[in-house]
Amino acid sequence: MDNFILVESKEIFEKFSKIIPSEFKIINLTEIYALKKNKIEILINEDDYNALSNAIKEADNLYIVYTDNYINFQEFYIKSFEDFEIEFFNKVTLDNLEINNIQYAFNAAIEIEHNEINYIIARFKIDKIIKSNVSKILKWFFKKEQILTDEEAEKLDISRLILYAATIIIKNQDKINSFIPDTYDKIGVDYIYENIQFRVKNNKKFKKDMQEELMMYFNIISDSKNEHTITNLDRKIKDIPAPLPLTKTRLQKECSYLFGFSPKETLKIAKELFEGIEIAGEKISLITSINTNSTRIDKGKKFQIYNLINKYFGKDFYFNGTREVKENSEYQLKEAIVPTKYEEEFFPDKIKSFLSEEQYRIYYFIFWITICSEMSNAQMDASEIVVNIGTEKMKTESNKIIFEGWLVRGKELVTNLNISDTIVEIPLNLYPSMRLNDFKIDTVIYPVPERTPMRYSTGRFFEKTNKDILAEEEEISLLIDDLLEQKLIVLRAKSMIEPTEKFNRIYYTLEEYAPELVNETFFIETFLALVKINEGKLEKQVLIDMYMKQLSILREKLGYSEVKEFKEDNWKKEEAKKIAKENNQHLPKHVLDNNVILSTYIKENENRVEKFGICPNCKSGEICEKSKSFICNKCDFILWKNSVLKFFEIFGKDIEIEIFKEYLKIILSKGKLLIENFYSKEVFFNKEITIEYSEKYNKWQVTFFNNKTKSNVQVIEENKDIETKTNDEELNDDEELNKIIIDFNGIDENDLKNRFTYIKNIKIGSDTIIYFEGEDFVAIKNFQNIKLYIEEKYNIKISEDFIKIDKE
C-alpha cells in the first residue's frame, strides 16, 4: 500500500520531492495531462496510466494539494477523480512553499468523501456546459443577429454565475425602471416626558385615494376621551459586536462599498501594501498576507493592539473576553489581514505622505478595522414601548447608543450597521400602566415616501449569491471583476450595481430564446440539487442532464450544433445499444458518450423509422436513413454517407454519421448550420454548411453555404479547388482504403498488429505503410497513438514531415 500526493505544478513537485518522506509518492498532474483545444490529453501511455489508476485506488492515503492557482488545473483534478475512481482524499490548502507552512497545511488537511467529490464533479460539469457550450452558441447567435458587435461577441465569456447575475440584477433594474414614486400618510402621537420627546405609531398606511379613511382614523386617535395607557414596556440593552478582522473576500467587499474599488483593484492595492512601501528611505511591509480566509490575530499583535487601545481610548474600550468565531480549515494555519506595525509613527495619518490616495484609504481601513476588532462591543438601548389609545395599539423602539465601544473609531468603516441617523429615546422613568394623556403634545399626520426598490450593492449581491446558488465568496469576487471587465455592469456611488445596455441586450435575448437559463427558480433548483448530491441523496448525472436538456433546447431553437458533450447514464447507453441491435446498426463510442445525440437517437428510433426533415428536392417527402445513404420516401433524393464523411475529412473534421444525422435535422429545418474548426491550409475556420444538388457531379452533396443562395435547392458553383478535391478523392464504398506512410523501417509488424487492432495490413520496406479500412480509419488520432507507441518502444523520433495520407 502507498501514500500518494497529487500536485498541480513542477515547482510544487520539486519542492515536495526534497522535503516529503519517501513513503509518499508525489504525482505532478501536468506530467500526466495537458489541455489542448479545450480537451484533456493524457501524456503517458495507456499501460502506465492504468497502472497509476490502480495504485491510487489501492492507496492507504491520498492527498490533493490546492493552491490559489487551483482554478487553472481544475479540469485535471476532475479527470483524475473520474478516471482513478477516487472515493475520498485529504484536501491540503497551500498558499506558499515555506516548509513551516507546508507542515501546517498537511496537519490541517480536510477529508473529502465520496458525496462531496460527486458534488465537485457535478458543479464543474454544469459550469462547463454553460461556459463552453452555451457561451459558444450565444456568441455565434449574438453576432449573427447583430445583438452585439463582432468584437463584443468575441470578448463575451458567459458563465453560470454571469447568467445568475443577469437574472437578479436586470430583473431588479426592471423593477426600478417601472417604479412610480408615491407617498402615503401615517398617523402618530407625540409625547414629551422628562424633556424627552418621542412618537408612537403603527403600521397603518393611507394612500392618496384613502383620505376619507385617513381622517376617520385620525379622529379616532385624536379623540380627547381616549385613555393613553402604557400596556407594555420592555427594557433591553442590545450589543453591537465589533467587526471581525479582515479576510481577503471581506476586504474586497467592504472596499467596494466604501471606496467604489473593484475586487481586483482592491487586491492590487493591498498587495502593494504587503510587498512594501518606501518610507523614509526604507521599504516596509505594512500589512500581512492578503491570501487568507482566517480571522485570527496572533498573540504578539494582540498585545500591541491592547496597549494601543489602553493608551488612546482607555481600558474600558478593550474587549476582555472571547468572541465566537466560526473556525475554518485556515483559522489556525493563517492569520487575518492585519497591520504589521502598531507604533504611533505607523498610524495611517502619520505616513499618509508616503502613500497614494488609494493606498492610504485601504491602509486606513485595514488599520482601524483591526483595532476595532479588539475593542469592546457597543451598546444600544433597544427598549420597546406599547401604548393603548382607545382600542388601538401604537408603539416605538429606542435606538440610542449608550456605550460607543468600538463605534468611537469604527462607525464609518462598517457598511451593514443599520443604525438610523434619527435617534429615538424612551424616557427612563416610564412604567407599565402609566397614563400618558397629560404628556401628549399632538396627534400628527405625516407623509412617508414609498421606498424605491433598492439596487444591489456589491455587499448585498455577495450575500444573495452565496445564499441562493452556493457560490463561495472568492468566486463572487471574481464574478464582479468579470462583469466589470466585460462591461456588463458599472458601479455607482456606494458600490451600487447597474447593468449596462450590453448586459440588458444579452438578458432579453436569453429571456426570449432560453428563458430557463435566466430564471431564478432554475438556479434555486440547481442549488437544491447540489445540496442533495453533497448529502448523497441525488445522483450527479440528474443535475448534469438538467443542464444538457437546456443546452439541447437552446441549440434547437437557434439552429446551432456542437459535437462536444458530456457522458450520459449507463441505462441510456444500454437502451441505445438495444435499439441499434434491433435495427442492425452500430453505435460508435463517440455517439454513446454524447448525451444529446444519444437521447435523440433513443427518442427517434423507438419502434419507428427515424425522420430527419422535409426533403429539399420534392418539398413534401421526408428524409429517412438507409445503411449507406439518406433517401426521400417520395422522390429520388439520395445523399451518400460516404460522400458526406469525405467532405468533412477533407477539411480536417473527423465525425461519425450519428453526429451528421443531428446536423442533417438542423440543415433541413433551417437551411444551413454553422460548424466550427474546419481546417485547411494550416488555418482553422468556422463556416456554415448546407445540402445542395451539384449538376457537375449529378448528385446531392454537403457543401459550404453561399450567402447569395436564393433557395436551399438552387445549385451553387462552389470553389473549384474544393469540388475538384472532393471529386478526385471520392471512392466507392467497397474500394475505400486509406493508409498512413511513416518514414521509418525496421519495426515489428506483429507487435504493431497486436497493439493496434484496427491496423488491417502492414508493408515493410524503405517506408513502413500502415493501412486502415472503412470507418475504423481516424487518421490523426490513430497516427498519433501509433507514433507515440513507436517512439517510446523503439526509442526513435518520427518526423511529421514524412506523414502523408494516400488513397489506394
Write the pLDDT tens digit of every residue in 310-333.
Answer: 999 999 999 987 777 766 655 566
Banded pLDDT at 776 (limits 50, 70, 90): very low
| The pLDDT of residue 31 | 93
Determine the pLDDT at residue 387: 97
Dihedrals phi, psi of 7, to nearest 5 degrees: -125, 165
**How would you class 504 by CB atoms within 10 Å of its CB: exposed for 0-12, middle for 13-18, buried for 19 or more?**
middle
State the pLDDT at residue 344.
Answer: 94
Which has the higher per-residue pLDDT, 242 or 560? 242
Kindly report the CATH class assigned to 3-112: alpha beta
Domains 124-178+458-558 and 248-376 share a fold: no
Lowest mean pLDDT of 357-361, 414-418, 484-488, name the range: 414-418
Handedness of CA 386, 387, 388, 394 (dihedral sign): negative
- Decide: pTM greater than 0.85: no
pLDDT band at 668 (very low <50, low <70, confident <90, very high): very high
Q: Is the model's pLDDT at 672 over the cut of 70?
A: yes
pLDDT-derived band at 381, boundaries 50, 70, 90: very high
How confident is the model over 647-652, as a mean pLDDT? 85
- CATH match for 734-807 among 3.30.70, 3.40.720, 3.30.160, 1.10.3470: 3.30.70
* Residue 762: predicted pLDDT: 55
pLDDT confidence band for 604 (50 / 70 / 90): low
CATH node for 183-241+379-449: 2.70.20.10
Could you tell me the fold of the domain covering 248-376?
A: Topoisomerase I; domain 4 (1.10.290)
The pLDDT of residue 494 is above 90: no
Q: Phi, psi at residue 606, to the nearest 5°?
A: -70, 110
* Alpha carbon of residue 539 to chain centroid: 21
pLDDT grade for 774, boundaries at 50, 70 and 90: very low
CA neighbours closer than 13 Å in the CB half-sphere of residue 280: 5
Please answer whether residues 385 and 232 qualify as being in contact, where contact means their C-beta atoms are separated by less than 8 angstroms: yes
Long-range contacts of 486-495 (CB under 8 A, 24+ apart): 486/155, 486/156, 486/157, 488/162, 488/165, 488/166, 489/165, 489/169, 491/256, 491/260, 491/262, 491/458, 492/455, 493/260, 494/257, 494/260, 494/457, 495/256, 495/257, 495/258, 495/260, 495/457, 495/458, 495/459
Residue 614 has pLDDT above 80, yes or no: yes
- Which of the residue ranges 117-131, 493-507, 718-732 has the most confident prediction, judged by mean pLDDT? 117-131
Q: Taking each helix axis as running N to C, give the angle between helix 520-534 and helix 114-128, from 0 to 180 degrees, rounded to the nearest 10.
A: 150
400 pLDDT exceeds 60?
A: yes
Domain map (residue ranges) of the chain = 3-112, 124-178+458-558, 183-241+379-449, 248-376, 609-730, 734-807
Q: Name the band, by pLDDT with cuts 50, 70 and 90, for residue 570.
A: low
pLDDT of residue 603: 63
Pick the CATH number of 124-178+458-558 from 1.10.3720.10, 1.10.357.10, 3.30.2080.10, 1.10.460.10: 1.10.460.10
Task: Using the predicted structure, report yes or no on whether residue 641 has a pLDDT greater than 90.
Answer: no
Which residue(s) pair with 200 in the sheet? 189
Handedness of CA 196, 200, 205, 206 (dihedral sign): negative
For residue 708, is pLDDT > 90?
no
pLDDT mean over 341-350: 96
Instruction: Please tell me the predicted confidence (pLDDT) of residue 68.
Output: 74
Quote the radius of gyration of the chain (alpha carbons, Å).
Answer: 35
Residue 291 has a pLDDT of: 85
What Cα–Cα distance (Å) separates residue 684 from each residue in 217, 678, 679, 711? 77, 5, 4, 28
Helix (H, G, I), strand (E, B) or coil at 127: helix
Average pLDDT, the chain: 82
C-alpha distances out from residue 170 to 174, 487, 499, 754, Å: 6, 14, 6, 61
For residue range 199-250, list pLDDT tens digits in order.
999 999 998 889 999 999 999 999 999 999 999 999 999 999 999 999 998 9
